[in-house]
Amino acid sequence: GQSLEQPSEVTAVEGAIVQINCTYQTSGFYGLSWYQQHDGGAPTFLSYNALDGLEETGRFSSFLSRSDSYGYLLLQELQMKDSASYFCAASNRDDKIIFGKGTRLHILP
Amino acid sequence: GAGVSQSPSNKVTEKGKDVELRCDPISGHTALYWYRQSLGQGLEFLIYFQGNSAPDKSGLPSDRFSAERTGGSVSTLTIQRTQQEDSAVYLCASSYGQAYYEQYFGPGTRLTVT
């Protein structure tokens, strides 16, 4: 089967750095995406890793290790507006992506 | 419009009634996906359309669910004989070409079955 595991909740302090981990089990794996979803909103695409290593986009970075079936999203200089749910999603040869159950990020002032 | 649009934004229906949910993808996007999201949960894949190919219906939970995509653009998700467990937010997404990992989502339709 195909599955992704990520923590259900993470809490961090404003201005700090937080890492959200994701492990996956999927056949025909192509890459790992990350999406952000605010309460009541639609998911929005953040990043995609097809190759091992770190991809940086502003305050957000995403990492992939194919050999470990593992990735993470790193958020730096946390802002209150970053409070949201974050989903990792694995893409495979079926042209679909399978979403994890999401990590709810709580940010404390 | 520039983004994916869905209608209605909210739908309340009685158990046993049929409902139709509409999705208008971004112009030029060849792939269209339907997902279901229950409160506080992840996204459950329902169905996928790519160009003129036969849709991938592998995620549809029962034969009460069906979807079509006309002219390679607008899609309609139909739920027949709705049940209370069908209550959820139904999200539509589209993507361009082979970049299916980068999906653009509509605002969703919140379906409540009473």
Strands B104-105 and B88-95: antiparallel
Q: At residue A29, does pLDDT exceed 60?
A: yes
Between CA B98 and CA B31 the distance in angstroms is 9
Please name the member of B43, B48, B93 whose beta carbon is closest to the beta carbon of A95.
B48
Q: Which of A24-28, B24-28, B40-44 has the highest mean pLDDT?
A: B24-28
- Tell me the average pLDDT across A61-79: 97
Asked if B91 is an interface residue toward chain A (Cβ–Cβ < 8 A), one would say: yes
Does A45 lie at the interface with B, CB-CB under 8 angstroms? Answer: yes
- Residue A1's pLDDT is what? 64
Cis bond leading into B8, ω under 30°? yes
Nearest CA-CA partner of A68 in A17, A103, A96, A29: A29
Burial grade of A21 (CB within 10 A; 0-12, 13-18, 19 or more): middle
pLDDT digits (tens, 9 = 90+) for B56-72: 999 999 999 999 998 87
Query: Which tokens go with A80?
Result: 């209150």
Local confidence band at A95 (pLDDT 50, 70, 90 cut-offs)? confident
Q: For chain B, first and last CA: distance in Å?
A: 33
Residues B60-108: pLDDT tens digits?
999 999 999 988 799 999 999 999 999 999 999 999 988 889 999 999 9
Q: What does the pLDDT read at residue A53?
A: 97
Distance between CA atoms of residues A46 and A28, nearest Å: 22
